Amino acid sequence: MKRILIVEDEPNLADGLEMNLTAEGYEVAVAENGNAALELIERMSFDLALVDVMMPGMDGFSLCKKIRKTSHLPIIFLTARSQDEDKIKGLALGGDDYLTKPFNLGELLQRITSIFRRMSWESASETGRKILTFADSELNLETLKATGPGGETFLSHREAMALKFLYERRGQSVSRDMLLDGVWGYRAYPSTRTVDNFILRLRKIFESDPANPTVIKSIRGVGYMLDA
């Protein structure tokens, strides 16, 4: 779940934002001034900050500069309409976006999703190796093409995740519950039979004799293990 920090001194606006963002499924924290915000940022990590430009004490821009010294936390500035827009535009470069009050909720939500969208693939591109190799098999994580004794196929997204999960722990036994958490997510409740099923399908591709698995081994009472 994404965490958003609201830095806003006007309680009604802060409350409204908090309510609405929470309703959208974000985890929200509120700081009513710059110092409180910095403290919160030190204590926990956020994915995005909504910062009012005009605040007593430290203004939004100063806060931005301080935040930037230690992190690249994306920032959306909130600013009253009549202020010098050029200044905002210039400084907004250090952040990621800005909105002028009064803004409507839909627009804010769109900007937020847009920023998350952007972040998600900027970080995704560096995620290391794109081809897993093991036993006589390989899996291209980019195209999801799998090659093994059982031939050549394209895995589904989830099949690939499951294999990757095992691959990252090869040589260790992995319980079905671990797979469910890691691949399906902690909020999903498929049965453990489902896991067996995915293993079954993976074996058809990666085992030369799927009935006597040597690559994706069963460990009775525990789970599965990818051979090291």
Q: What are phi and psi of 154, to 5 degrees?
A: -105, 125
Token pair listed for 25? 């499924």
CB-based contact 78:98 (threshold 8 Å): yes
Partner from DNA, a second copy, none contacting 196, C-beta within 5 to 8 A by type: DNA
Token pair listed for 3? 């965490």
State the DSSP string of 9-49. S-HHHHHHHHHHHHHTT-EEEEESSHHHHHHHHHHS--SEE
Partner from DNA, a second copy, none contacting 223, C-beta within 5 to 8 A by type: DNA
- Closest to a second copy by CB, 39 vs 90, is 90
Run of H or E residues at 225: strand 223-226
- Closest to a second copy by CB, 5 vs 180, is 180
CA distance 193 to 156: 18
CA distance 203 to 210: 5
Report 47-76 residues binding a second copy (CB under 8 A): 68
Partner from a second copy, DNA, none contacting 210, C-beta within 5 to 8 A by type: DNA
Token pair listed for 59? 């203004």
Partner from DNA, a second copy, none contacting 34, C-beta within 5 to 8 A by type: none
CA distance 90 to 160: 44
Is residue 123 a contact point for a second copy (CB under 8 A)? Answer: no
Q: Which of 200, 208, 214, 228 binds DNA (CB under 7 A)?
A: 200
Is residue 105 a contact point for DNA (CB under 7 A)? Answer: no
CA distance 42 to 33: 15
- Residues interacting with DNA, by CB under 7 A? 83, 154, 156-159, 176, 184, 188-194, 196-197, 199-200, 203, 210-211, 213, 218-224
- Residues interacting with a second copy, by CB under 8 A? 10-17, 19-20, 23, 68, 86-87, 89-98, 101-102, 104-106, 108, 110, 114-115, 117-118, 120-122, 142-144, 154, 156-158, 171-173, 175, 177-178, 180-181, 186-187, 189, 219-222, 225
